Structure 1
Amino acid sequence: MFHRNRLILLFLIVFCLWSCEKQTKRTGNLFDYIPQNTENILKIADLESAKSDLAGSYLFEQLERPVFYNFLKDRKTFVSHLKPKGESVICFQKTNDSIQHFTFITKAHPLVFVVDSIPNSTSEKSDYKGYQIQRSTVQDFSIFNSTIDSVFVASSSEILLKEIIDHKTESDPEFKKVFSLKTKNELVTIFQPNHLQINDSLTINFGSQAALVMEVFPDGVTASGVIFDRDSMPQLISVFKGLHPKRNTIAKVIPTDALQARAITYDDAQLLEQNLQLYHRNTAQLDPLFGSINEVASITLKEGNAVVLKSIDPEITGDEFGRFISEKGSFREIDLFNFTDEALIFKPFYPFIENISPAYAFQLEDFFIFTESEAIAQGLIAAYKNSATLAKTSYFENTALQLSQASSFVVYDLQGNVSGWIAPFLTSEKSRVKKFPLAVLQLSYDRDFAHANLVCKEASPIQQSTGVISQVFNKQFDNTILGDPQFFSNHRTKGKDIVVQDVNNELYLISANGKTLWKKRLDGPILGKVQEVDILRNGKKQLAFVTRNTFYILDRNGNTVAPFPKKFKDDITQPISIFDYDRKRDYRFVITQGKEVMMYDSKGKIVTGFTFKKAGSAIVLAPQHIRLGNKDYILIAEANGKLNILNRVGKDRIIVNKKFNFSKIPIAKEGLNFVVITKENSKESISQSGKVNSKALNVSDNYWFTTRGATKVTLDDNLLRINGKLVELPFGIYTKPHIFIANRTTYITVTEIQESKVYVYSKNGKLQSGFPVYGSSLAEIASVANKILLITQASDNEITVFSFR
């Protein structure tokens, strides 16, 4: 018996010794030295390249607590003396002291880390279970390193280093599987996305392990990789198990001023329901409405939230949609409905959709949209109508080139936001970054894992503005607007205010942010346009205009400027004409009453030196001032066909013997000639000697002709010609084309009034990116600083101001 027990004891001793010997034999795989409970890992193919890439990254410089970037920056002296040959690994984890520690792992060689070469450093050595541990003090922090089985390990924690020696290392087979993924790329980040802090009230178990190959550029980051799903516990990506990713379309309705959008896609509503039930551990059912849907999205805006459903059969969806709605009204020809479900149909989609209480709903083509307020609904409709959506931006187009067209789940962070959904994939916390208008995370489920793509690229000022039409404000009035809204210069802000008149003859001055500064009741409709003058010559602008019986000059506070207004017994029959011959603000104001003209100066006195008092017949166009060369010409067209071309004092300067059947097109300047377009659509070119050259135009009755400087524009039905270059517009009914100069650039505007589309072209005939936008009237353009503003009517009682570059 005693002999038998001795044999058993001997066997146990031999087994233990054999086990210890086996435990100490490690293969040299760097994974075998990763500490337990590691939170983040960075696999680095070449440390010098990684340092260079991360140090030059403007994105990582702005992120909140980016783990790897901060390590390279805060431990710069230590890192600069690391000389690995080949791959290295940096691990981060928090220990019981709640301090984040790092561990650096690479193949050992004599020069991998020479502490003696570090200035002002100290070191001491100790033994631990047969391994030598060197403690070095560099810039007030300690580093512990040792060579373990041909592997160099350095850590900020002596405890962690000893645990590695004791084989207390990472052993999760799934972790090892992720770590062992083959890649030749410089940087691979590995982490466990099982506890993502999305916001203060939402923490998500996203997946078990994630590995992303990261490419860091001076202008941003791209990454691609995998996220694994563990069947033993409900994880978010398991919601997509068995579902095929569908094409992402939500960007078509995300306004450019949105803060974030998230979308999921699916091809089997019943399977999605089962997966959601497993994830939530409940039996909540999806409403039948979702059977005809393949994309569900949420949009976060400053004003609130919206939910978007993309239908694969709008007719079927519309029938189901009808159960929840009652008619509310309309906005820009889109029906608005009250929504009465109180968000119950969206509850199963938590956390993809969270904290929304929709009260309104509407349809945009294949999209069914639910919003928390009527204002949000109107904003989404306006953005869609104005092409002011994410899909229309150049930075989205550039980003989309690096993404899959279809995915299971996608997150769009806008306005420089890096949310809790995306930040962990950049090893950081939620952040705000400049010059990065869009960050995208995209997941596509495939068996027991999801493919991941991440793009966050810097956009230049041109990229950020090209194709982006932002709505500055939208304002409704109680009454129908009369005439076209106009810009008016604000000498205080150096910006632009807006002048609007309604059918009750109320004149409004609206600020640049849509606030009504004042309104003033006039005695009738304004004839023509309001014009800007500076009669005091102090830079402070006034509004000059006429009604049928009054000549007004108002200051920017709405007060009359003495000695105005001037009242007239007889009707004024043409818009006011204002001449500033030498641009010295020595104005001449011309009032037309039938055959008669009266010229006033800035003091409200008749200019006695102007001798032309009365025409031979009614004056059919507002008198015009045109300068050719160094000569001034005043042109007055009469109903009997006579064209008076006068000098400054009202004497004949050019005698024109031919009579014209004047149309409504003002007389234009073309080269060194005057141009009259007659009602018969004949182009009459008049030289400075009075010679007339006639040319039949062979155009429609809708023809229009206008010039400004060297730019000539004509419109014949839908045929727009700019300096001779043909632009074929869609068939429709168009306003007159107008030419504007803003920030030294020439723009041409024209509006199709049936479809309510405003087009803006450059003088080379190119449609400006982002146009057309929604508008129902003539559009006016002005410049403010480095921005271009455009104003138009959105409806009979509504104006919209846009900004573009």
Structure 2
Amino acid sequence: MRFLGFTLLLLVFFSCSKVEKNSLSLIDFVPKNASIIIKTSNLEDLKSSIKNSDFLDKFSKTTAYKHLENNLDYLKLLKPNGELLICFSNDEKDSLQFSIITKYTPQLFKSDSLKNYIEEKLTYKKQTLIKSTYNNNTFYSTVTDSIFLAASSKDLINTVSTNSYMNEELVKIYNSTSNDKTFSIIINANSPFVKSFFIEESLNLSAFTNYVAVDVDVNQDYIYMNGITKATDSTKILNSIFKNTIPQENQTQNITPFDSDGFMSFSFKNFKTIEGNLKTFKKKDSITSRLSIFDNIIEVGIIYQDESRAIVLNSIDFIDTEDALIGEQTVTETYRGVEIYSFSQPKLFVNTFSPLVNDINPNRYCILDNFFVFSSHLDLLQNIISNYQNKTTLNELDAFKNTKEQLSNASSLLLVVNNKSLKSILDKNFKDNLDDTFNNYSASALQFIYDSNFAHVNAIIKKSKIRATQNSVSEELNIKLASNILNKPQFVTNHLTNTKEIVVQDIKNNLYLISNKGKILWKKQLEGAVLGTIEQIDIFKNGRLQLAFATPHRVYVIDRNGKDVAPFPGNFNDEITQPLSVFDYDRNKEYRLLVTQGKNILMYDVKAQTVNGFNFNSAKDVIISQPKHFRLRGKDYIVFKTQNKLYIIDRVGNTRITPKTSTNFSNQPIFLYNDAFTTTTSNGQLISVDTQGGVATQNLNLGEKHKLEASSKTLVTLNENKLTIKTNSIELDYGTYTRPELFYIKDKIYVAITDLQTQKVSMYDSLGNLLPNFPVYGNSEITLDNIDKDNSLEFVTKGDANSILLYRIN
């Protein structure tokens, strides 16, 4: 993965270069101090692949690339028929030098008719060389034993051509490379061009191994690498620490949040083995306290989130591991039902696992099934808990699943990074930061699998292709307010962008408008609690929307900047007892605002003036439902009810329909269902009134505490733990449920319900099928909509007491 640095530039440059086939003797001419060797058997294939690679194309504008392009301009002139090696090294003055090695053929180099080309013969240290100048760049070449050699300096060409040094380790690792891939790269770990493969710079390649050799397959959307790394030196991390260990199946991805920067994981079958190796490596007799916390651990993971870190221990016997922590069980807080404990040995992990673990000193931990998660960052622990509960870990992402297909299940060491960390690693290896973004590279991976004195290496950098439907439910935002939340959050429309934003109120009666990126746009103190749903209106008929709603003693109209729109708010001495009803009879923005106060209904226009001609005086009893407006067959109906009477009036308040029977009504809303005004009675019967006043009842066997939701053609009921959608019934676990909510979006029905007892939001289709990856964590009713301009739906709900959760259904 150092190709994610200096060598990537070489690859990009080769889209303007040449090469060819096979000769094992080429390795005999590699300079002794070569840092990087690139081998290819088909330069044209290499050129084509790199030219069409989205990833490598991002490097073509860097100054480092331009420097290589200038120095390797000579490659354009070569037409090899076989294998070709390009070697990079530093001279005594620490200047970059290159050499090219391939089998000589008459067609290899044709200088006839070349512009800007000059050559001359010279003798240097008793050797005949050709000095070539092309586009003001000079190189030297010769032929030795049918091998063509070219180099950027006379000393280097002399060293290469008279090289008697045979590095057996290099020869062996060279022979492990394939001729079938686009190219191969061999890296000397002591290379000055190589800094680090990892997020942690302390894990540099020179401390890790001796040589890395990988075959590279380049495609338009991916780069696959596989090969080996060799370490015979006992001072190297690979050979010393992982010696005699047996790689285990990595599971850190199962607890890593999808929005993390990535993770690193190392595994072993027996802790005693790696513990002994670490002692030997660090030349220490004792490196741990005698806690038995690690006795049943087979994997240690590090989760990265910005500058925060978390240590994960994967236990094969979580009961024994928990018992080993019996003295570390002081609960500091509880998050989503998970206890978070203090931890008194923050240096334990560095003392035990360095150099694999550095600068991580956790002071708290939590337990999630067989995972023990330690961190000094509470917000990271909470993020891990929430994503684990919501099943929105890295393992659930399609990008990671695609990456995982190219990896072995078990690793000695595994690094997985997102686009942000990938760019960070790349930036470490360039003097100038890359201007381009890597947003589509959301799960790149590097894997080492230890064997005797060497390890298999797999790496993948792949462009993520987002499918139309991923069926995942991801937590996009967790917005925390200063005070606890009073009511359910909902979406409102931003008329400037035609996207959705979030509006919510806290227990101090502050109203918030929050962008769909989580930014609080404004906060406004209200007189009291918002009643029901906030509506939007366009008072000035100019496309700019305002929020309209009632509190117990005010009617508000607020613009998108949080300012009151005059003459609102309207003040009311008597209590407003139902949510504000907003009617636009003819859809011409001549709004009517209906205010309910006990038995009375008051109608206002957008100037806060009472509407002349509305002559409904008073109901006989307290109105128990929000007045609603329906239009049916060209006629307007305003419908509401008291405990014993259903009122159906016209625009001016006159009775339009008198039901032919009366009953005791429930407190459930009124709906227009199958062209009839429909609600339920207190004893759970469905009652429908048609436009002639005819009354039909249906026994649905509902109890007194039932809940009702309906659209024009769909009826939804909840009775104890039985949810019925049309004729499809679902037996839910017993719990405390919100009223089911019905959403009709893009010709599809969604029914959502929240169990406040278990804090779970479930969503069903019209057939009663639970949607994939539900339930998720939530503590209130939800609002579902498409809040941005993609094809995915989002919903918002209450999380913890003071937090708002935004989920995406992918």
Q: Same fold (TM over 0.5)?
A: yes
Change (3 A) 1:75 1:730: farther
- Asked whether 1:453 is paired with 2:448, we answer no
Match of 1:217 among 216, 219, 223: 219
Contact 1:545–1:576, Cα closer than 8 Å, also in 2 = yes
Alpha-carbon distance in 2 for matches of 1:572, 1:209: 78
Partner-residue secondary structure (3-state), 2:293: helix
Q: Calculate percent identity across the aligned residue pairs.
A: 31
* Residue of structure 2 equivalent to 1:180: 175
- Specify which structure has the higher proportion of strand: 1
Give the counterpart of 1:109 among 102, 105, 112: 105
Deviates more, 1:587-596 or 1:553-562: 553-562
1:751 aligns with: 754
> Is residue 2:738 matched to residue 1:735?
yes
The equivalences for 1:653-672 within 5 A come to 653-670=656-673, 672=675
Distance 1:202 1:404 in 2: 22
Query: Equivalent residue for 1:19?
Result: none
Change (3 A) 1:49 1:556: closer
User: In structure 2, the residue corresponding to 1:781 is in which secondary structure?
Assistant: strand
Question: In the superposition, relative to structure 1, how do residues 468 and 31 fare at CA in structure 2: closer, same or farther (>3 Å)?
Answer: farther
Residue 238 of structure 2 is aligned to residue 263 of structure 1: no
Matched to 1:349, the amino acid is F
Query: Would the alpha carbon gap of residues 243 and 672 (structure 1) be closer, same or farther in structure 2, given more than 3 Å must change?
Result: same
**Other-structure match for 1:167:** 163
Question: Residues 305, 496 of structure 1: CA spacing in aligned structure 2 closer, same or farther, 3 A cutoff?
Answer: same
1:117-158 CA-partner distances (Å, limit 9, x unpaired): 544322223456886533332222223332221222233333
Give CA deviations for 1:778-802 in whole Å, capped at 9, x if unaligned: 1223544336553322233443344
Contact 1:485–1:799 (CA under 8 A) maintained in structure 2 = yes
Look up the match of 2:402: 398
Letter in 2 for 1:526: V
Q: Is the 8 A contact 1:72 1:79 kept in 2?
A: no
Is residue 545 of structure 1 aligned with residue 549 of structure 2? yes
Cα offset for 1:770? 5.5
Aligned residue type for 2:141:
N
Shift of 1:112: 1.7
CA RMSD of aligned residues (A): 3.7
Match of 1:42 among 10, 33, 38: 38
Contact 2:177–2:214 (CA under 8 A) maintained in structure 1: no
Q: CA deviation at 1:319?
A: 2.2
1:260-299 to structure 2, matched below 5 A, reads 260-287=262-289, 288-299=292-303
Question: After superposition, what is the alpha-carbon deviation per residue over 1:698-753, rounded to whole angstroms, capped at 9, x for unaligned?
Answer: 56666544345777655566666667777776664432232446799875432222
Cα distance in 2 between the residues matched to 1:405 and 1:566: 65
Q: Which residue of 1 aligns with 2:6?
A: none
Matched-pair contact (CA < 8 Å) for 1:126–1:133: yes
Of residues 756-765 and 292-301 in structure 1, the stretch that sits farther from structure 2 once superposed is 756-765
- Deviating more after overlay: 589-598 vs 441-450: 589-598
The aligned runs of 1:334-353 (5 Å cut-off) are: 334-353=338-357
- One-letter code aligned to 2:36: N
Distance in 1 separating the partners of 2:32 and 2:405: 39
Aligned counterpart in structure 1 of residue 642 of structure 2, from 638, 642, 646: 638
Contact 2:35 2:187 (C-alpha < 8 Å) held by counterparts: yes
Q: Is the CA contact (8 Å cut-off) linking 1:496 and 1:511 kept in structure 2?
A: no
For 1:338 and 1:683, locate their aligned partners in 2 and report how far apart those are by CA, in whole Å: 55
The answer to whether residue 162 in structure 2 is matched with residue 140 in structure 1 is no
Give distance in 2, aligned partners of 1:434 and 1:476.
29
Q: How many residues align?
A: 773
Q: Indicate if the aligned counterparts of 2:177 and 2:184 stay in contact, CA closer than 8 A.
A: no
Letter in 2 for 1:50: L
1:162-191 Cα shifts (integer Å, max 9, x gaps): 22221255x210100011125342222111
Deviations 1:483-516, CA, capped at 9 Å, x for gaps: 3233445567766554444445x23325333548
Instruction: Identify the residue that residue 251 of structure 1 maps to in structure 2.
Output: 253
Any conservation in 2 of the 1:475–1:514 contact (CA below 8 Å)?
Answer: no
| Larger CA deviation: 786-795 vs 305-314 | 786-795
Aligned-partner SS, 2:576: coil
The within-5 A match list for 1:378-457 is: 378-418=382-422, 433-457=438-462
Aligned 1:440-519 pairs, distance under 5 A: 440-462=445-467, 467=472, 469-478=474-483, 480-489=484-493, 498-503=502-507, 506-512=509-515, 513=518, 515=520, 517-519=522-524
- The AA in structure 2 aligned to 1:649 is V
Query: Alpha-carbon deviation of 1:632?
Result: 2.7
Amino acid at match of 1:125: K
Query: Cα 1:28–1:306, aligned 2, differ >3 Å: closer, same or farther?
Result: closer
Instruction: Tell me the SS of whatever aligns to 2:345.
Output: coil
Structure 2: how far apart are the matches of 1:134 and 1:728?
86
User: Counterpart of 2:391 in structure 1: which amino acid?
Assistant: S
Task: Give the structure 2 partner of residue 529 of structure 1.
Answer: 533
**CA distance in 1 between partners of 2:145 and 2:701 (Å):** 93
CA separation of 1:350 and 1:746: change in aligned 2, threshold 3 A: farther
Match of 1:157 in 2: 153
Q: Structure 2: how far apart are the matches of 1:179 and 1:710?
A: 71
Counterpart of 1:84, as a letter, is P
Write out aligned runs for 1:785-796 (5 A). 785-786=788-789, 789-796=794-801
1:600 equivalent in structure 2: 604
- The 8 Å contact of residues 324 and 341 in structure 1, kept in 2 or not, is answered as no
SS in 1 for 2:399: helix
State yes or no: 1:376 paired with 2:380: yes
Structure with max Cα Rg: 1
- In the TM superposition, residue 285 of structure 1 has moved relative to its aligned partner by 2.4
- In structure 1, distance between residues paired with 2:745 and 2:521: 25
Distance change (3 Å), C-alpha of 1:423 and 1:238 = farther
Which segment is superposed worse, 247-256 or 556-565? Answer: 556-565
- Partners in 2 of 1:330 and 1:637 — Cα distance? 44
Name the CA distance, whole Å, in 2 between partners of 1:732 and 1:657: 38
User: Which amino acid counterpart does residue 104 of structure 1 have in structure 2?
Assistant: I
In the alignment, what sits opposite 2:55? 59
Could you tell me whether the CA contact under 8 Å between 1:393 and 1:466 is conserved in 2?
no
Match of 1:333 among 328, 333, 337: 337
The alignment partner of 2:608 has SS state of coil
Rounded to whole Å, the distance in 2 between the matches of 1:501 and 1:60 is: 49
The answer to whether the 8 Å contact 1:508/1:516 transfers is no
Q: Give 3-state SS (helix, strand or coil) of 2:533's partner.
A: strand
Letter in 1 for 2:753: V
CA distance, structure 2, for counterparts of residue 201 and residue 464 of structure 1 = 40
Cα displacement (A) at 1:660: 4.9
Distance 1:687 1:90, change over 3 A: farther
Letter of the aligned partner of 1:271 in structure 2? T
1:465 to 1:98, Cα distance in 2 relative to 1, 3 A: farther
Q: Which amino acid aligns with 2:458?
A: N
Secondary structure of the structure 1 residue equivalent to 2:325: helix
When the two structures are superposed, what TM-score results if normalisation uses the length of structure 1?
Answer: 0.86
Query: For 1:764 and 1:214, how far apart are their aligned partners in 2?
Result: 49
Cα 1:630–1:401 change in 2 (3 A) is farther
Aligned position for 2:614: 610
Greater CA deviation, 624-633 or 536-545? Answer: 536-545
Deviation at 1:536, TM superposition (A): 4.0
Q: Secondary structure at the match of 2:417?
A: strand
Residue 250 (structure 1) shift: 0.8
Alignment check: 8 A CA contact 2:675 2:712 kept: no
The question of whether the paired residues in 2 share the 8 Å contact of 1:418 and 1:430 is answered with no
User: How many angstroms does 1:422 deviate by?
Assistant: 8.5
Partner of 1:32: 28
- TM-score, reference length from structure 2: 0.85
Secondary structure, counterpart of 1:112 in structure 2: coil
Secondary structure of residue in 1 paired with 2:407: coil
Aligned equivalent of 2:195, options 194, 197, 202: 197
Change over 3 Å in CA distance of 1:75–1:594 after alignment to 2: same
Structure 2 gaps of 5+ residues are 1-22
